[in-house]
Structure formats: structure tokens, C-alpha cells
Structure 1
């Protein structure tokens, strides 16, 4: 959030004494007032994405406050507008609220009343702008890193680069990562960036399909191939011809079926159960595992020849604790998605909430973070939006970073967020963080951050 001294408040009233009084009150509270004697003059001076609020009298010569309200909401429906009504004019105030006014002040009003309604309006405005900024940043990241990768850390940038390279070559891929690290999403990102993007992406969880049906699921069957096979079934491999087959939890595949899978990978054709005809395949196979397949092969739990066939290109996925600086951005991304799906407005997180996110070990990785963000949007109000309370009951953090490391991560995250919010403009970031320029540059060097990385191409 911006500090009050950086936030403007537009005051519109044709009475000079009210403009002067309101301006002095706002200045003493640290705001930057901009006063206008007419609605027409205020509209001409209003910039896009105005970060503050509007305070306007209703009864004015020319364009009145109600007409101004409708015009402002036509331009920006999230802009908080506070209307000033005459003494006892309750019907006008009710009409204004129904028309979308944020709040109203009744003449005469005290300075404290003005500051209270402005403060609340400012908080709402900053929340709306923050959500808009986050959506824009996520869209920019989607264009740069792919539709499902969110993050700025070096490890996620390397992963994005690897996905880009792998997607351009014809090779089967083995994804290795803990539960919840997004192996299915990475598989889809590879498919969608490849020349196969216009063909099917078929996903099957080898651990979730009953052993007696998985062969039919993968390879299909002819009518009468076994009891219950009342009609021909096209398997995942055949259906995905031209595209990609994703085999999740491949370590769960029965050993007998692994032999047939190896043959499919080597010969690139498939035979339906109960048929003798070999069907040619043009597919890419992406397999995923959370276990060490080499160790499983040595223990006899996984075929060694299949392991080496799959191990042509192996892509390790980082655990969330290995990229803690991405956690606040990921959390807000999931909160925005959940809010949009539920028709709600995504609440932002304060510094205490960020600290709670950074301190948690995330044994469930990104999946656990996403679930928390959804609970925060849907149930957060019942817990006063306290993330530490929502996190209660989570698995104990057995590898919690030391206090100096938590402080370091927290500082880096705050600097990164401020750089992103201000598009890398150093003067604004230093003002927002309240630190001298030299200290700021020292911290950039310490954390390996670069202001230029946060400047959009459209920025000067």
C-alpha cells in the first residue's frame, strides 16, 4: 500500500471556504488535496487509475454531484466517490448510495468525519488497484513464462527456460518433484508450447486407476476382449495420436504393464486388447513421479529398462520452500483466481500475513498454498483475515528457516513487491519503503535484485 503522503484526494465544491477547510484538514493528515470549484474542471484533470478518492458536493452550478458520480463510474466503477449532502437531506444521501457512492458526508461535518471516510475509501481504492496490478503482472508473466508458471525467482526462471527448450524437441520427458509441485501443470505447459498443441493432451493418473482396468484405459480394447467389454474402446494412447500422453505417478504402474509401456515407447505403436492389428502412434509421452525411480528399479519395484527409456530428458521441479520469495505473488494469484470464480473481491495480505506465509514449510507445496488462498478468500472474514489462524493445524514445520533467514526472505519479498508495484521506479520505491537511495541499492545488491527487471516495456 502507498503511504498517505503519496495519495491524492480530489475535493470538488463551489464554496471556497469548504475547499480551504477540507484542504487544510487533509494536508495535516498527510494527504495531497487537489481542489476544484466545478465538476467539469475536476473531470478534465482526473488521470487514469487515480490512486485516491473523490470528495464532491452534490449541489453545484453546472454539472452536479449525481451527474458527476455517474460519469466517474462510467470511467472507473471501482473509484470511491464521497458525496456531500445538505443538512437533513437524507433522501438525497440514500439516492447517492444506491447510485454507487462509496459514502456521504452531511453538512456541516467535522474534520475527523472527513478523515475517517477518506481513510476507508483510500483502503478500498488501493485494494482495487492492487488487484488490477496483480492481474496485469500475471498476464505479463503468462506471456513470458507460459500460462501456468508464476514467479520471479531464479529457479522458476530456469524451469521456464527448460520448458521452452524441451517443448521444441521431440523427446519423451520424465518430471520429478514432490507432491503438489505442479507436475501436471508443467506437462500441460510443455504440450501447449509444442508443435502438438492443436492435438489432444491426455492425462491419466496411474495410481488412481484400478489395476484391472488401467491396461484398457491406456491401450483400449475390442468388443468381447474380456468379460464386460460390450463395445470397442479407444485407449488414451490412440486417442492422443498427434498429441501428448501424460502418465502421472508412473511409479504406481503395475510391473506387468510396464513391459507393454516399454514396447509402446520403443516401437511407437499400440495394440488394443483382443486385437492383432498394430496401430501406429505419433505421440509424446510425459511421465511424472514423486519417487526416485532409479532406487525403485534397483529395489525391483520398477523396471530398470523402462527407467532408462524414460530418463532421456528429466526435469526436476522445485519444492515451494526452495523459492520462498515467490510465495506472496503465488498466494495473491490464487486468491484472485478464487475471488473471480466466486464473484468476490480478492483481499490483499498485510506484512504479518506475508511473514506467516514465508515461515511455513509447505509440505504440500503449491497445492497447499492454493488451498489456503481459496480458504482465505471464502472464509478469511470469519478469522479477521489472519493467515496464522488459517494455517493452524498444518503440518509442523520441521525445517523452518532460521530467524535471520526469515527476516532476509521477508525483506526481499517486500522490496520485490514494491519494485513490481512501482514498475522499477527507484525514487517511488525508496519513498514507499522509507529508506535512503544508497541503502536501497545496497539491499538490491544483497538480494540479487535489479530494478530494470521490473520495468514494463511501456514504461519510460
Structure 2
């Protein structure tokens, strides 16, 4: 029950409960109907992201008592109370205590639908702001580990589980997917956080330089070595050593690195002194080192030595539902950095966000958001009648989500509710289409000839 289009509906009058449930379902909401407040509370959990609609006058536990219990669980959860004329003073007091709205019987169906819709929008805003706060706390460097998809939740959970161990970790993922972020979080969430986090890109340095960078050297060890240099490995002692693009490490250095991992000691160039090191190694690769065809000349024994725990970061194209949140975060960050307002998102930008494969992953999305804020994307400017002016006060992720829902509804309407033609027009897979219908609370049947006059029948008379 994590969809803001969900509604908990409570009324002890079975006929009114049935009528109100049908009304809200026709409006595109997922309705969970309960004959008593106790039943609703038993099903309501801390993760509920929708709206509560309850009658006030009920036996055992009334609507006001229900509201008090809900408020204890989540003060920001919108509660709409349905009242008879004699209950209005009670409802007014509940509003003063923080209830979202009250509706008096009898009421037109539009009154109920509009109140629930506004409450759902408020709930969406609250949840998006919470998510952005969490994202900001999780942010690290240029590529925060942001995401609400199951894959990202599992990734964060795994990092928490292994962070405070000294096990070496192999991180795999495409370019720009956030491998250094993962390594940094493993360091920051561990007891090694007081030590140094030392990063080295193995593919950025020539073989003649990487040896000195890793192992250090003494004066006179080679031409130009005029003073002692502590290598990255020794500098990372008591902390974490991050070796990015380890598949690019020269074969000769791989042999030396294998000894470091096995013996936890290092011998700088120009000396026979063996120095012990206490470090955790996190290595990252863009290829599957377990596949001999991709591994190339990377040593198999070094791979198995590193492969104690492997963490795979999903590419952005496999977690499309995270794109609005990520884009919103990056756009807000860019707007703050460049001291500009976040522009309204256009249909062209929205289509690009949803249809682009993002081969550069999160890094590419971040740069796209910066260009969008700077107005350097030719399609990034707002177009007439695409975004309601009232939306300009909402956070960007909310606007992206809302426009996506509007675009799906518009395309469904244009195609008379036909799924095949709609998904072809939107350019998305069938499963993604149905996932989005569920997330936005869109009922496909609403676009296949539903009579709008059915929604005007008064409820509660």
C-alpha cells in the first residue's frame, strides 16, 4: 500500500460505503473499504502513502478517535472526515487539530473526489520531500546513491550489512553508475571512517607511474625521485583503498597487488623494508571479471582474491522509476549552484527522461539536469499549455510525476483506451505501462466510453 492513489474508506453504513467506494474507484483511486475504524487501523501501517476518508458517527470507535490514532502514527497522513449536520462542531475541532478536510452529508460525488484528489496531492508532496531529505542525507560527492526502486533499496541494505566488516569488496557496474559512491559509503558507514578513503583509477595512469603511486618510493629509487613518497596503499592503512577500473591494472602490478592482498604488507620502491598495512580494498570493474572473455589479461587468482563479496550496481535503464527523483535532485542542486530557478519541464524533456537509454547512467543524467537548468537543452523550455502554472510551486519530481500521469491519460484518451496503440505511442514496454497505471492510479476503462454523468450522483442522501 505505497501508492498515493490509495484510499482507506471507513463507514459503518454498508450502502454508503459501497457507493463512496464506487465513486472513488471510477475517479481512478484504489479503495480499501472498512466497516469499522478498528478494522482500518489494523490494516494501516507506517508505509501507507495514501489518504484516509472516514465517517465520524460510528459505534465503538468514531472518526475523531480514528483521526487521533492515525495522527499518532503519521501526523502528515491526510484524514478526511464525513459528517452529518449535527457533527459539524466535532469536525471543525478535528480540522483545528490537523484533519485535512470534512464533508457534510449529503454530498455530490465531485466534492468527495476533489477533496481526496487534493489530499493525495498533498500526500505526494510530503512523501517527495521526505524522499529528497533522505536522498540528501545519502548524498556523497557528485553522484548520490538515490533511488526508491527495490534494487536500490536492496543495494543500500547490503551496504549497511557489510560496511562494518573488513571484507574486501568487488563492485561491478557500468560507467557512471556510482561505483565510487558505493565504495565511499562502505568506508563512511564502517568503523574505518576515521581513516583515509584513498581512490585510484587504475586506467588513468601509465604503468611507469602506477607502481610508484600504489607502493610509494624512497629518494633515488628512480630518475626524478628526489624525495620520499608514501604510496596510496600505505596512505590507506587504517582506512579504505578504492581501486577503480581495476581491469586496467597492468599485469606486472597485478602480481604485486595480489601479494598485498594476501600478506597485508607493502614494500616501497628503492627499499627492502616491508611495511605492514591495515586496509580494506574495494575494487571496481566495468566488465564481468568472472567471464574469461571479458577478463582478458586480468589474473584469475587476483579476481578470486578480490571476489569475497561482489556488489552489482544496476544501470539506470533498469530502474527507470528512479529517474524522476534523481533528475529532481540534480536539477535542484544545479539550480542552487548556478543561482537559478528550476525551469518547468517540457513534454520533450519528459519524453527524453523516459525514453533515453542513459548509457552514461547517473553521471549522464546529472549533466543533463545541469544543462536543463542552464537552458542549454534546445527542448528544455516550457511550451504553452503543457504545465499548469500552479505546478511551478511544486518540487520538480512532483511535476515530473504529474506530467507523466497527464501524458498517459492523454494518450489513452486519444487511443480510446486501446493498450497496444497507447504503449506504441508512448514508446514504453507493456509491463512498464501497467506499472505506471498502477502507480498513478489510472483506470484504463475510464477512457473506453465511460459516461461522465455517472459521477454526479449524490452520495449519502
User: Do the structures match in fold with TM over 0.5?
Assistant: yes
1:254 match: 250
Report the CA distance between 1:140 and its aligned residue.
Answer: 2.2
Q: 2:321 aligns with which of 325, 344, 349?
A: 325
1:211 match: 207
Report the CA distance between 1:350 and its aligned residue.
Answer: 4.8
1:139 match: 133
Report the Cα distance in structure 2 between the residues aligned to 1:158 and 1:145, rounded to whole angstroms.
Answer: 17
Report the Cα distance in structure 1 between the residues aligned to 2:378 and 2:355, rounded to whole angstroms.
Answer: 23
Report the Cα distance in structure 2 between the residues aligned to 1:187 and 1:201, rounded to whole angstroms.
Answer: 9
- For each residue in 1:361-409, what CA deviation from the matched residue of structure 2 results, as whole angstroms up to 9, or x when unmatched? 111111111111111011258645279xxxxxxxxxxxxx965745764
1:375 match: 371
Q: Confirm or deny: 8 A CA contact 1:167 1:190 kept in the other structure.
A: yes
1:336 match: 332
Report the CA distance between 1:356 and its aligned residue.
Answer: 2.5
Q: Tell me, which stretches of 5 or more residues in structure 1 are unaligned?
A: 1-129, 388-400, 419-429, 440-460
Alignment partner of 1:366 is 2:348: no
Q: Confirm or deny: 8 A CA contact 1:142 1:149 kept in the other structure.
A: no
Report the Cα distance in structure 2 between the residues aligned to 1:267 and 1:377, rounded to whole angstroms.
Answer: 51
Alignment partner of 1:275 is 2:304: no
CA RMSD of aligned residues (A): 3.3
Report the 3-state secondary structure (helix = DSSP H, G, I; strand = E; otherwise coil) of the residue aligned with 1:203.
Answer: strand
Q: 2:286 aligns with which of 274, 287, 290?
A: 290
Report the Cα distance in structure 1 between the residues aligned to 2:345 and 2:150, rounded to whole angstroms.
Answer: 24
- For each residue in 1:30-89, what CA deviation from the matched residue of structure 2 results, as whole angstroms up to 9, or x when unmatched? xxxxxxxxxxxxxxxxxxxxxxxxxxxxxxxxxxxxxxxxxxxxxxxxxxxxxxxxxxxx
Q: Confirm or deny: 8 A CA contact 1:168 1:193 kept in the other structure.
A: yes
Report the Cα distance in structure 1 between the residues aligned to 2:364 and 2:236, rounded to whole angstroms.
Answer: 31
Q: Confirm or deny: 8 A CA contact 1:219 1:234 kept in the other structure.
A: yes
Q: Confirm or deny: 8 A CA contact 1:298 1:304 kept in the other structure.
A: no
Alignment partner of 1:174 is 2:167: no
Report the CA distance between 1:206 and its aligned residue.
Answer: 0.3
1:227 match: 223
1:149 match: 145
Distance 1:133 1:379, change over 3 A: farther
Report the 3-state secondary structure (helix = DSSP H, G, I; strand = E; otherwise coil) of the residue aligned with 2:242.
Answer: strand
Q: 1:186 aligns with which of 166, 182, 185?
A: 182
Report the CA distance between 1:180 and its aligned residue.
Answer: 1.2
Q: Confirm or deny: 8 A CA contact 1:200 1:239 kept in the other structure.
A: yes
Report the CA distance between 1:145 and its aligned residue.
Answer: 9.1
Report the Cα distance in structure 2 between the residues aligned to 1:350 and 1:412, rounded to whole angstroms.
Answer: 23
Report the Cα distance in structure 2 between the residues aligned to 1:404 and 1:360, rounded to whole angstroms.
Answer: 11
Report the CA distance between 1:134 and its aligned residue.
Answer: 5.4
Report the CA distance between 1:215 and its aligned residue.
Answer: 0.6
Q: Confirm or deny: 8 A CA contact 2:371 2:377 kept in the other structure.
A: no
Distance 1:339 1:299, change over 3 A: closer
Report the Cα distance in structure 1 between the residues aligned to 2:433 and 2:237, rounded to whole angstroms.
Answer: 48
Q: Where do residues 25-424 of structure 1 align in structure 2 (5 Å cutoff)?
A: 136-143=130-137, 148-296=144-292, 301-350=297-346, 353-380=349-376, 383-385=379-381, 405-406=428-429, 409=432, 412=435
Distance 1:404 1:370, change over 3 A: closer
- For each residue in 1:252-302, what CA deviation from the matched residue of structure 2 results, as whole angstroms up to 9, or x when unmatched? 000000000000000011111011111111111000001121334897511
Report the Cα distance in structure 2 between the residues aligned to 1:325 and 1:219, rounded to whole angstroms.
Answer: 43
Distance 1:409 1:297, change over 3 A: closer
Report the CA distance between 1:303 and its aligned residue.
Answer: 0.7
Report the 3-state secondary structure (helix = DSSP H, G, I; strand = E; otherwise coil) of the residue aligned with 2:191.
Answer: coil
Report the Cα distance in structure 1 between the residues aligned to 2:138 and 2:216, rounded to whole angstroms.
Answer: 38
Report the Cα distance in structure 2 between the residues aligned to 1:298 and 1:143, rounded to whole angstroms.
Answer: 36
Q: Confirm or deny: 8 A CA contact 1:262 1:306 kept in the other structure.
A: yes
Q: Confirm or deny: 8 A CA contact 2:287 2:294 kept in the other structure.
A: no
Report the CA distance between 1:141 and its aligned residue.
Answer: 3.6
**Quick one: higher RCO (CA 8 Å, sep 6+), 1 or 2?**
2
Q: Confirm or deny: 8 A CA contact 1:174 1:288 kept in the other structure.
A: yes
Q: Confirm or deny: 8 A CA contact 1:297 1:307 kept in the other structure.
A: no
